[in-house]
């Protein structure tokens, strides 16, 4: 495949002419390394919209087989997170601890359990869920614990710098939207990190670095994917919670599939 982008060159008489680049492209290039023309990867294989459509077409045919997984992961992780969100403030007042600090301590313990499925098996869509496989995947808990700790520390630093938490000083209101944007940015670029830890056998720090580098060209598509995942889960929760039986496993499959596309393009190298 050759690049059809345009480049400008000077002729022998000093005139500037425009011609087709014709640079030979690698199968998994995102941009031409000569003229910078997009290869179509971001609107094709790496497109959040296309990946969602492809996954949904497969998922809707076998969605019932994911019910046991959805019920298990809700009861062991997401229900506990929801209970903390509802009763965490009351508990914090009862034990006389700052609610924000207590919440993060609880999340530090619980969230790694929600990440365990990413390290269970490859091709999440094709492999049936089993409790045995989940407990086998607990070997990755320490790595996911450290990854969650990194997330929490990053958000904590943002809260201190952008909201004045623990500083006791007045902070410019403009920093509040800045903090919101940085939180979204972090979630976006770190989207594949739990799978990267399990598949590439790297530690949490290395996974963070690789995700940052890998997202240099794909961050907007990852952001659109995050929005879709958030949307389907909000909708699932709004349907008396029953929609979560579909939205939660679909979210795992979407993240895994996009990780695979990033890996196909050798963006973690």
Does some domain include residue 88?
A: yes
> How many domains does the chain contain in total?
2
Give φ, ψ of 11 to 5 degrees: -85, 175
Q: Is the pLDDT of residue 119 over 90?
A: no
Do residues 27 and 151 both lie within one domain?
Answer: no
Do residues 17 and 99 both lie within one domain?
Answer: no
Own/partner long-range contacts of 53-58 (Cβ < 8 Å, ≥24 apart): 54/257, 55/125, 55/250, 55/253, 55/254, 55/257, 56/250, 58/125
Q: Could you tell me the pLDDT band of residue 245, with boundaries at 50, 70 and 90?
A: very high
Do residues 27 and 154 both lie within one domain?
Answer: no
Do residues 71 and 93 both lie within one domain?
Answer: yes
Do residues 26 and 70 both lie within one domain?
Answer: no
Do residues 46 and 90 both lie within one domain?
Answer: yes
Does some domain include residue 269?
A: no
Do residues 90 and 3 both lie within one domain?
Answer: no
Do residues 57 and 17 both lie within one domain?
Answer: no
Q: Is the pLDDT of residue 192 over 90?
A: yes
pLDDT (0 to 100) of residue 93: 85
Q: Could you tell me the pLDDT band of residue 210, with boundaries at 50, 70 and 90?
A: very high
Tell me the residue range of the domain where 7 lies: 1-39
pLDDT digits (tens, 9 = 90+) for 56-72: 999 999 888 999 999 99
Does some domain include residue 223?
A: yes
């Amino acid at each position: 495949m050759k690049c059809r982008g345009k480049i400008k060159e000077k002729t022998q008489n000093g005139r500037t002419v425009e011609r087709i680049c014709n640079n030979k492209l690698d199968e998994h290039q995102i941009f031409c390394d000569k003229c910078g023309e997009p290869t179509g990867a971001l609107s094709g294989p790496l497109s959040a919209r296309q990946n969602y459509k492809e996954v949904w077409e497969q998922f809707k045919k076998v969605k019932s087989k994911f019910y046991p997984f959805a019920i298990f992961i809700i009861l062991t992780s997401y229900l506990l997170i929801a209970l903390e969100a509802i009763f965490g403030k009351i508990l914090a007042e009862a034990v006389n601890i700052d609610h924000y600090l207590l919440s993060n301590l609880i999340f530090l313990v619980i969230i790694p359990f929600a990440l365990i499925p990413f390290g269970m098996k490859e091709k999440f869509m094709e492999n049936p869920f089993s409790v045995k496989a989940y407990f086998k995947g607990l070997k990755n808990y320490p790595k996911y614990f450290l990854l969650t700790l990194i997330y929490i520390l990053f958000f904590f630093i943002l809260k201190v710098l952008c909201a004045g938490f623990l500083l006791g000083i007045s902070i410019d209101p403009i920093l509040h939207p800045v903090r919101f944007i940085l939180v979204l940015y972090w979630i976006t670029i770190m989207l594949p990190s739990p799978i990267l830890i399990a598949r590439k056998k790297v530690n949490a720090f290395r996974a963070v670095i690789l995700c940052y580098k890998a997202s240099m060209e794909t961050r907007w598509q990852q952001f659109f994917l995050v929005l879709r995942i958030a949307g389907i889960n909000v909708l699932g929760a709004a349907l008396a919670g029953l929609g979560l039986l579909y939205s939660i496993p679909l979210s795992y499959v979407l993240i895994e599939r996009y990780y695979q596309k990033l890996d196909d393009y050798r963006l973690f190298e």
